[in-house]
Amino acid sequence: MRVTPADREALPFWLRWFFNKQEKRYGQVLQPALVWSRRPRFFVLFASLWGALSHKSSPLSPVLRAMIQVYVAKLTWCEFCIDLNGQTLAKEHSGEEKLAELDNWKDSDVFTPQEKAALAWTEAMSGSGCQVTEELHLGLKEYFSEQEIMELTALISFQNMSARFNAALDIPSQGLCKIPARRNN
């Protein structure tokens, strides 16, 4: 890693409590959270935004959400995000098959037309520069409401920020996903 994570024991009590919960959930503390915790205010902003985006009442299915996050991670070369989000996707219904086929989504029968429209939107938003076209937007509108498009776009934007942060700081995979998720070359 290019930045030393915060010393967990030196953090405020409420952050140590968060890391105890995280350790119970994942079996370990996640390194990006410790890096963000070097500045507790940044961590609070990051965690708050993630909390707002990951609400259970989201109109986007858990499978779609996890798939989008893995795909952004692949496009931005974030090994940690592929690992963490791959674990989440693998746990969802049909997730293992989608995880294995994600590199070939355009030609795969595993993905629905709705998922393919969301993956195309994700790809356009996640390269160098935002390459979103009206044709892509119209394709999304066939399957998603305006609220869903807004949430999908916010999720992709957040995942781009998170993945690029982790990739730039060379935060490694932590071995969370038991199913290999090939990264785009």
177 to each of 3, 5, 69, 83, how far by Cα in Å?
Answer: 24, 22, 14, 5
Domains of the chain: 8-53 (1.20.5), 62-168 (1.20.1290.10)
Q: In this structure, how many other beta carbons lie within 10 angstroms of the beta carbon of residue 140?
A: 20
Chain segment 50-65, per-residue pLDDT in tens: 989 888 888 999 999 9
Q: Which residue has the higher pLDDT, 127 or 151?
A: 151
**Model pLDDT, residue 182:** 54
74, 103 Cβ separation under 8 angstroms: yes
**Model pLDDT, residue 77:** 93
pLDDT band at 178 (very low <50, low <70, confident <90, very high): confident
In the predicted structure, residue 142 carries a pLDDT above the cut 90: yes
Can you tell me the mean pLDDT for 67-87? 95
**Model pLDDT, residue 96:** 87
Q: How many residues does the chain have?
A: 185
Q: In this structure, how many other beta carbons lie within 10 angstroms of the beta carbon of residue 118?
A: 28
175 Cβ contact list (under 8 Å, min separation 6)? 83
Q: Quick one: which of 162, 175, 112 has its CA closest to 139? A: 112
Can you tell me the mean pLDDT for 9-20? 92
- Alpha-carbon distance of 77 to 56, in angstroms, equals 28
Q: What percent of the chain has pLDDT over 70?
A: 96
Q: Name the average pLDDT for the chain.
A: 92
Can you tell me the mean pLDDT for 122-147? 94
In the predicted structure, residue 179 carries a pLDDT above the cut 80: no
